[in-house]
Amino acid sequence: MSFKDKVIYQIYPKSFLDTNQDGVGDLLGIQKKLPYLKKLGVDMLWLSPIYPSPQNDNGYDVADYTAINPLFGTMEDFESLMAAAKDLNIEIMLDMVFNHVSTDHEWFQKALAGEKKYQDYFILRDQPTDWVSKFGGNAWAPFGDTDQYYLHLYDETQADLDWHNPAVRDELFNVLRFWLDKGVKGFRFDVINVIGKDQVLQDCPENDGKPAYTDRPINHEFIHMMNQATFGHDPEVITVGEMSSTTIENCILYTEPQREELNMTFNFHHLKVDYQDGKKWTQMPFDFEKLKELFHSWGTQMSVGNGWNALFWNNHDQPRALNRFIEVAEYRVAGAKMLASAIHLNRGTPYIYMGEEIGMLDPDFDSMAEYVDVESLNAYQELIAAGKTEKAAFEIVKAKSRDNSRTPMQWDQTTYSGFSETTPWLPLGKTADSINVEKELTEGSIFSYYQQLIQLRKEYPVISEGTYQAFLAEHPAIYGYLRSYQDQELLVLNNFFAEAVVIELPERFMKGEVLINNYPAAELTKELVLKSYQSLAIYR
Ligand code: GLC
Ligand code: CA
């Protein structure tokens, strides 16, 4: 299975479909919707964590890597889901959270109880560093009633593992073997570029300590070891690493095939272009120049360096891209299609986050009482402590909370939108009645646009294999690029704004074929008009 012509669909299991009416999505719910996903045309389903967990970070705090959380069902349910998916030629990608375990995990509990063997699984120090947790506050917490501290780059209940310990690596590689034996063909590795800490940890006042533990050279060695010990032997397996605050140079190293690390990487630079001074808990209109520059530098350098990007606008940690980049009140549909084209025709493997294919929006919650995410709750407290009014703090959380994308999938217009018959664990978005699958499939056009994009990737090697070059790099409104493969070329033009613009179409494309367009057919003239959020792909 080459990963270049595939499209992967991310499911947040808690919010997809609830079949036993407890308000939480489950594995049987995913199985039930397989025909829908087949209709869309995706090749693989990435499931956010489904393992036993106290759910302090919605499953990214794993308490047992080789079991199913009863909240989601049983191992039989998982096997049945996988078999049913395989019947439809859809594979499963599991989320592997290998930087840390839940403090409920047996390893941490045994460590706390004094077992030396398990204490060596964690990063314990007498003297903590000045690093700041990514969820706010100190990154170190007292280790039981000893005088030591354990490192937690995330929540206090997510204890970082010590990858230098060969016993830890063995345990984790066995986890991969367990799931490979079950027929799992994909792995998404959570924050995998911070697993390799240096042996001597240093204070680092810069950027909350990130440079001290991110993309360290040893990190590449650990990933290579993991590849060689497990999935590296099966060319059908697809791997993607989530890279926090990374660089292009490192992502080329992680994905250049000869290095045998991973197939592709997620990076988040393009989703920080609406962060003021690089800080998440602020509000600012997105900076198009920066976005374009990032797309071009990543696109070009990964192409030249033979690296591979995972392409995405949305996931379970991001507010919906439509709310960030598009004037949705007027242009939700055209905007959704333009954003989709911008990445699906690009060089890399596209990911669709559930609901994106019907143009779902942020939920528009009315008060802090509706938010549950640990990061949002901490951020709100920190904003208040920093002197913001309740209203101002709420507005920021509302724009930035991870809960924005975690609300239940909007299936139809019944109570709870067909997600469940009972109150969902997180409230539905306000637009559930107007934006839902049932409506989209009867009168919408976003879903069918995604279907087309997915098929185009399978039909045209220029999309799956072609090189990347910037086009009109200086234009203030157009994100354009050129893909080339053998004697074929594809020119993709995306207008990121509501104002129409005119560009000069190169001669050789005037007789080209329009592969996809989010407006009715247009003539290819030298002076080409691109309407509000128009996206056009011309093949020759
Ligand atoms: C990743 C996950 C996020 C989680 C964090 C810690 O960024 O996507 O949801 O909170 O890692 O595991
Ligand atoms: Ca359920």
Q: Kindly report the protein residue whose alpha carbon is nearest to atom 12 of ligand 1.
A: 60
> E-strand spans in 172-273?
186-189, 238-242, 264-266
* Cβ atoms of residues 20 and 26 within 8 Å: yes
Q: What pLDDT score does 354 carry?
A: 98
How far, in Å, is the centroid of ligand 2 from the Cα of 73? 8
Residue 113 belongs to some domain of the structure = yes
Q: What pLDDT score does 521 carry?
A: 84
Residue 307 belongs to some domain of the structure = yes
Other beta carbons within 10 Å of 502: 10
Atom of ligand 1 nearest to the CA of 154: 6
* Cβ atoms of residues 516 and 466 within 8 Å: no
The domain spanning residue 301 has which CATH number? 3.20.20.80
The answer on 422 and 354 residing in a single domain is yes
The answer on 218 and 262 residing in a single domain is yes
Q: Is 60 in the pocket of ligand 1 (CB under 6 A)?
A: yes
What's the rounded Cα separation, in Å, for the pair 415 and 432? Answer: 10
Q: Is 191 in the pocket of ligand 1 (CB under 6 A)?
A: yes
The count of residues in the chain is: 540
The answer on 470 and 440 residing in a single domain is no
The answer on 85 and 119 residing in a single domain is no
The answer on 472 and 441 residing in a single domain is no
3-state SS record for 449-479:
HHHHHHHHHHHCHHHHCCEEEEECCCCCCEE
The answer on 141 and 59 residing in a single domain is no
Atom of ligand 1 nearest to the CA of 244: 7
The answer on 146 and 266 residing in a single domain is no
Residue 400 belongs to some domain of the structure = no
* Cβ atoms of residues 266 and 240 within 8 Å: yes
Atom of ligand 1 nearest to the CA of 97: 12
From 151, 183, 216, the end of a domain falls on 151
What's the rounded Cα separation, in Å, for the pair 127 and 261? Answer: 33
**What does each of the 540 residues of the chain score in pLDDT, given as a tens digit?**
489 999 999 999 999 999 999 999 999 999 999 999 999 999 999 999 999 999 999 999 999 999 999 999 999 999 999 999 999 999 999 999 999 999 999 999 999 999 999 999 999 999 999 999 999 999 999 999 999 999 999 999 999 999 999 999 999 999 999 999 999 999 999 999 999 999 999 999 999 999 999 999 999 999 999 999 999 999 999 999 999 999 999 999 999 999 999 999 999 999 999 999 999 999 999 999 999 999 999 999 999 999 999 999 999 999 999 999 999 999 999 999 999 999 999 999 999 999 999 999 999 999 999 999 999 999 999 999 999 999 999 999 999 999 999 999 999 999 999 999 999 999 999 999 999 999 999 999 999 999 999 999 999 999 999 999 999 999 999 999 999 999 999 999 999 999 999 999 999 999 999 999 999 987 999 999 999 999 999 999
The answer on 223 and 250 residing in a single domain is yes
Residue 373 belongs to some domain of the structure = no
Nearest alpha-carbon partner for 469 in 488, 491, 486, 487: 491
| Residue 162 structure tokens | 């010590």
Total structural domains within the chain: 3
- What is the distance of C-alpha 18 from the center of its chain? 22
- What is the distance of C-alpha 31 from the center of its chain? 22
Q: Write out the residue range of the structural domain in which residue 531 sits.
A: 464-539
Atom of ligand 1 nearest to the CA of 100: 12
* Ligand index nearest the alpha carbon of residue 21: 2
Q: Is 428 in the pocket of ligand 1 (CB under 6 A)?
A: no
Q: What pLDDT score does 1 carry?
A: 47
Nearest alpha-carbon partner for 379 in 135, 210, 157: 135
Q: Is 437 in the pocket of ligand 1 (CB under 6 A)?
A: no
What's the rounded Cα separation, in Å, for the pair 344 and 453? Answer: 6
Q: Locate tokens 């996931």: which residue?
A: 315
The answer on 136 and 85 residing in a single domain is no
Q: Kindly report the protein residue whose alpha carbon is nearest to atom 5 of ligand 1.
A: 60
Specify the pTM: 0.98
Substitution site in 153, 154, 267 for ligand 1 pocket (most atoms within 8 Å of beta carbon): 154
Q: Which residues are catalytic?
A: 190, 242
* Ligand index nearest the alpha carbon of residue 19: 2
The domain spanning residue 524 has which CATH number? 2.60.40.1180
Nearest alpha-carbon partner for 175 in 107, 273, 260, 91: 107
Residue 483 belongs to some domain of the structure = yes
| Residue 452 structure tokens | 């087309």
The answer on 114 and 213 residing in a single domain is no
| Residue 172 structure tokens | 């984790």
The answer on 77 and 126 residing in a single domain is no
Nearest alpha-carbon partner for 253 in 289, 177, 196, 306: 306
The answer on 497 and 351 residing in a single domain is no
Residue 58 belongs to some domain of the structure = yes
How far, in Å, is the centroid of ligand 2 from the Cα of 77? 12
From 91, 124, 151, the end of a domain falls on 151
How far, in Å, is the centroid of ligand 2 from the Cα of 410? 16
Phi-psi region of 355 (alpha: psi -120 to 50; beta: other; left: phi over 0): left
Residue 369 belongs to some domain of the structure = no
What's the rounded Cα separation, in Å, for the pair 205 and 220? Answer: 24
* Ligand index nearest the alpha carbon of residue 240: 1
